[in-house]
Structure 1
Amino acid sequence: MSEHVIPGRAGDLISLGAAEVLWAGLTAGSAVPTAAGVFACPPAGTRAGYVLLGGRLVAVVKTGGGRWGVAEGEVRRAAAELNTVEIDRGLVRIGPFREAPQQEHNEGTLLRWRQRVMREVQEPDGPGQTAWGEDGRSCHLAGIDWRQVLVERTRDGAVRTWWLPRAVVRLLDAAEHAETQWLHATSARQASKADTGRLSDHRQTRAADTLRQTASPEGPAAPLRPYSGELEGQLYSVLSRKPGFSRKVAQWMCAVCRTAPATVLDHCHEHGYARAPVCQSCNTQERPDHLYSSDIRVASRYTRLFHTGTDDWLRHWHRCSGCRARTTLPLPHLAAWTASIACRPLRPTHRASRGREPCGVLRVSWTGNQNAPRSCLLTVTVDFCPSGEHRLLAQVPYREAAGQFRTWLAETAPAVAAVAGPDRLDGLPAQPRPVIADTNGEGLALF
């Protein structure tokens, strides 16, 4: 192939065709199978402005001659990283899950590898039917041919589940993270050029439209009333069965932000008690960012939950009689608090253009559940460390995490802590529903 290297200041640039040949040759002996056409197929190419290779994002740039190319050194580094990955016998279930919540780190990305894999494997003829884009070119996931390592399992002769090697899952997670960081940086640059006054007017218009949509088609909507604890202590399973209950919820103002109409009744999944009517935004804000049934990523929204809006959220969570009596949080929220607050001094930092930045992204997982506190262990790790040197931060037993939370609650929100305590156990369910329904990942439906 007559592809030539084009010298440039930032490093040697090669055409996309030459990069394709180079990538295929460098990764021929990799334990992770790679796909063909990675520099020209969705979600890569000149329109995206980048190509995902394993866990690395490589920018696509335009040369002086009007041709598109990539830095040869970046392609070689991506191939070298991929060649170091070893695939062991560990498998991770990737679906299907019942009513799996939308994950924050997927929003806005083109990769969305979990959604793409599940959409393809659930085709009538199985994997491979949607392996081609609209223009007839093969689709891939970060240059990885995941179809070669996909494992299908059947339970009870009918229920099918799909699994990928843990190493491949981590690579695809890293690719999504790199893409998200790129898109956020691009959006920030575009936003800085926008007219701030025009943006403010646009937000006000959207807010007005939202309020108008809540009005009854027969005429002006009745004024919303603030929530005063009318539903506290009642079981959600009972309330949700009452006729017209959703219309009753819509009559309240959100009990957390107190600015928007309520749309849902938030409740504790561990104890089954109703908390309060909340708007869709607040309901999404407090939902744990699950990767798997017992594994969550401590996303940026937790800054609001445990820092800027702490008092409001603690008061809201302790509207559950069970959490209030035990002076704790539901297990996923307690796990996020442990990683975000209790383990904050342990999180390393790296030198950046504006001083130092926290290392990577926090992830916390747990074994067991709150109904067996002696065997429940929280493990806090760091994903996507820039230097690759940090991984495990801490392992915290559930009882220790709950004790640290009680101390912090008394210091941070004394009014909330004052009404909590182990002396208010009357009326609690004798057998509260566990957070994790099974060990196969379907406990996502609980959130």
Structure 2
Amino acid sequence: MVRLRQHGHFVLGDIAVRCYEYRSKRTYDERDIRRAAQVFADFRLDPGDVIEVQVPPYRERDDQDPEERGRADWRERVASWMYWHARDKHQLERPHEERDDNWQRIGVGGMPGELTWEEFIAASSGSRRSIGNTRPLELVTRSDSGPFLPRAYADLLDRWEQVTEEIVAKARICSRCRAQGPRWGAWRTPSPLGYITLCPPCSGATFQRYTGHLRGVLYESARTRSTRADGYLCPMCAETRAPVWDHCYDRGYVRGPLCGSCNTCEGKSPAHYFLRDKEGSALHLLECCGCLERRTLPARYHAALARMHLEATERHLIRSRRCRREPRVENIELDHGAYRFELSCWWHDARWPKTVTVVEAAMLVREFVDQAFADAQSNAVVPAPRAASDNPSPGWPRETP
């Protein structure tokens, strides 16, 4: 699904098969499937004609150019699998004070750190690691110098890189103004015929702005069912179409239209992530008139705010001094009127429990809502009832072939 949003294709080897959508169902042209199948049926490998696979040097994600991050590169992908297992082995076999960056260096046999090829294959067994929907690890052979792949297969993966980059480049272009967008499909928005690319200004000009005309209306009401959401711009990201109505599960009131990404983030991502990292999350939750009147949030956000409070304030002691690092919080349980957390510090191998009562969590929620309410008042965006709007949904732009 991530790749379909990014470029709208299923890449099989070096063949890009386009995905189509009709009546909310995704499908492929059978002629494209048969063409891809024929290419694989005719594909031949010479086991004796191989090339050495040089493992690229390790690079921190933050050191990479954002434009290069995520680029189709089969060598980088295979290397990332190796570095992942090399790091795990390094950390499992050493106490914290003896850990270093040796796992990032290429060692004996072309493998990073002290990882051996046999350990790498054993750790990778059962995984569905693929490139271009093919399994490279099943074709790798070994020598003392490093891993080898059949030349024909390596050439296939090189063509996979080229084909993938071509369809990504095409999918980044706004179908209206022809501006180039981000690599990972942030400008891609669903339409009745599949994903199209629209930059934020063009999306704002294409879709209506939601003005709160369903505020206070129950999600299960006939009025909600008769009002389409897909003509509105998502009010949270303000970048793409909002195909669904989001609502408060605790009180049943409509909160507004959301795009698929923002709706999934609110409903399925960890609650603390939505509150902390999603801009406008508090105001969106307060679009529920029940939560707004009570100055509270749905129940699942109470534990999240307690967790965020502990991350910001709780620290363990090291020789009578507070550790400066933020603890990791896990194992949240609600038991006898209290949220029970387990906190840990990876750097000092410390673990300790902490309890936040339901009453204390409710107070944290009230403080959070009051602050969000004050910020909304200062910015003149306090939720307020609006008159119903009968503006027709705008027409869909067509994606340029």
Q: Report the TM-score range of the alignment, normalised by the length of the smaller protein.
A: 0.3 to 0.5
Between Structure 1 and Structure 2, whose CA radius of gyration is higher?
2
